[in-house]
Amino acid sequence: MSAIAVPGGAIGRSGIWARASGGTAVPVLIVVLAILAVWYLAAIWLNAPWQLQIFARGEGDWTWVDFLAGTMSQDRPLLPAPHQVAVELWNSVVGQNVTSRRSLVYHAWITLSATLLGFVMGTVLGILLAVLIVHNRAMDRSLMPWIIASQTIPILAIAPMVVVVLASIGMTGLVPKALISTYLSFFPVVVGMVKGFRSPDTIQLDLMRTYHASQGQTFWKLRFPSALPYLFTSMKVGVAASLVGAIVGELPTGAAGGLGSRLLAGSYYGQTVQIWSALLMAAALSAMLILAIGTVQRIVLARTGARP
């Protein structure tokens, strides 16, 4: 009976598999493979018409192999194949001097600096607004509706105006983009921190009252530490929004550099491979920023006694 015979052998054989599937590596790998498969199929399908036109104009016969290879190696494909994007990424990241305008690292840095400046300003602004809202009823009633309304305006409508208006008073480069990032990233921080500052139990607030603690002491010793988990969660949302803000802020400035201008230039000249590599670079940046915040979160929460 296999049910009886299996245990000894099964443990030995399933050990590695069990360890691998117990982690996140296997599920992530499967998802990545699925995405790549869909991507290749889509690339073949979308690039096929153009490839057929090329063959029709050319002389001689073509085989299915030629056809498939052709759809994956066009200069300006509708949808570049993954390996084309990978090659472009490699060439523009590793193959270039980082100070060169042809280097994707150079553009990523421009976007990253605006993202970080805007994110820091947005987080500080968000925390300050949350402090005002939590400590003042009038502020709660008057500010909150405006804060929510501010996020209903499409950022694509407001970004060019911010850039143009600021340029007219001599502010160009980093600051206008950072302001757009701030505009997007302060919102999740306000909402999260208002909830966080209000998260202490009545009993914990009563305790502070029995000590005749000042408002400042209650804030620093109770409200702020209670809000820390909320802060990190909203910072993760905020940093992703910041990156979007910086990229959107770079679209109107065109040639000034950054992933946004790279996207715009790519679409002007039909350089789809360049667009896709810039997109992937932006996604990687965003992932890195969120990972970094996650790491800080783990360290801080571990130091403040969070249950492991």
Partner 1 sequence: MLMKPISDTVISASGLGLTFETNDGPVHALSDVDLAIGKGEFVSFIGPSGCGKTTFLRVIADLEQPTFGTISVNGMTPEEARRSRAYGYVFQAAALYPWRTIERNVALPLEIMGYSREERKARIARTLDLVNLAGFEKKYPWQLSGGMQQRASIARALAFDADLLLMDEPFGALDEIVRDHLNEQLLRLWARTNKTICFVTHSIPEAVYLSTKIVVMSPRPGRVTDVIESTLPAERPLDIRETPEFLAIAARVREGLRAGHSYE
Enumerate binding residues for partner 1 (CB under 8 A).
Answer: 201, 203-204, 206-213, 217, 221-222, 225, 228, 304-307
Nearer CB in complex with partner 1: 137/209 = 209
Nearer CB in complex with partner 1: 17/220 = 220
Beta carbon of residue 193, minimum distance to partner 1 (angstroms, whole number): 16
Phi, psi values for residue 289, rounded to 5°: -65, -40
Nearer CB in complex with partner 1: 4/203 = 203
Asked if 174 contacts 256 with a C-beta cutoff of 8 angstroms, the reply is no
Nearer CB in complex with partner 1: 96/199 = 199
Amino acid at 211: Y
Largest CA distance in the chain: 92
d(CA 300, CA 145): 32
> Which two tokens mark 100?
């060169």
Beta carbon of residue 220, minimum distance to partner 1 (angstroms, whole number): 10
Query: What is 26-56 written as a DSSP string?
Result: HHHHHHHHHHHHHHHHHHHHHHHHHHHHHHH
**Which residues touch 224 (CB under 8 Å, ≥6 apart)?**
197
Beta carbon of residue 294, minimum distance to partner 1 (angstroms, whole number): 19
Nearer CB in complex with partner 1: 57/209 = 209
Amino acid at 8: G
> Dihedral angle at the C-alpha atoms of 102, 93, 262, 109, nearest 10 degrees?
-100
Beta carbon of residue 212, minimum distance to partner 1 (angstroms, whole number): 5
Beta carbon of residue 302, minimum distance to partner 1 (angstroms, whole number): 11
Say whether 1 sits in a helix, a strand or coil.
Answer: coil
Beta carbon of residue 119, minimum distance to partner 1 (angstroms, whole number): 25
> Which two tokens mark 84?
């084309």
Phi, psi values for residue 255, rounded to 5°: -80, -5
Nearer CB in complex with partner 1: 45/211 = 211
Nearer CB in complex with partner 1: 72/301 = 301
d(CA 35, CA 41): 10
Beta carbon of residue 148, minimum distance to partner 1 (angstroms, whole number): 29
